[in-house]
Amino acid sequence: MARTVDTLAAEIHDLPDVEKLRLVDAILADLDRPDPEIDRVWAEEARKRWEAYKAGRATTVPYETVMAKHRRS
């Protein structure tokens, strides 16, 4: 009989943290399937953003401002 997600979750709950991390790594590796079309779209988006930045058309936020915002969260 196939295990249900609830059964697996209960078993995972009892695992040591190191084993939980190994399981997360295994799941992420299983889900990480390269998609050339997505890679192409992201590469084009990165080029557009870089060109906009170099041309002064991109709005930027200083590092200190970003970090201050996240420290308050």
Q: Which long-range contacts link 26-32 to residues 24+ away (Cβ below 8 Å)? A: none
Is the pTM higher than 0.85? The answer reads: no
pLDDT of residue 44: 98
Q: How far is CA 42 from CA 8, 45, 50, 69, in A?
A: 35, 5, 12, 27
Position 31, amino acid: L
Q: What is the pLDDT along the chain (73 residues), one digit of tens a residue?
A: 467 999 999 999 999 999 999 999 999 999 988 899 999 999 999 999 999 999 999 999 999 999 999 888 7
pLDDT of residue 48: 98
pLDDT of residue 70: 87
